[in-house]
Structure 1
């Protein structure tokens, strides 16, 4: 039997808990498609499992794709960005969508 020193954390809505996590990149609220890190967990180097201080670019793009509309190609959240009808490579998003994601989160 294991015991926890502090017991269960206080009940708190996820929306408030997210903003209480000072110093973390907002993209950590989503899972990382590159290394498979769970939401609110740090990214790791997949080959060695070493924890990284930063988040993967793919995770930042996934966050932008999930929460923001793209002003460049006029797609809604969760729809991949495209150029001339073709999705951008590796799940990338337009630079304007990053800006829109940061604006909508503030």
Structure 2
């Protein structure tokens, strides 16, 4: 038997392989009401273990959050304005805007 306590911290070598939580988990899920930081749940209240991805409604809420707080470095849209293509037509939220929103949330 070893002398270390049962609640020894996880070694960094094991922790490095764990998946990083999706940034959408920083907002409350409007579909399943999961709190910020918690994983989404199924209709029966169980934690979603099939996929680590949040509910679609939570992804939409995260996109709205990203649009509200971050500038888009791809299309130069200011906070509060939707992303657009170079010709001015509406575009889905660019990945660079999500990256900027991650920086403002931290």
Q: Which has the larger radius of gyration?
A: 2
TM-score (norm 2): 0.49
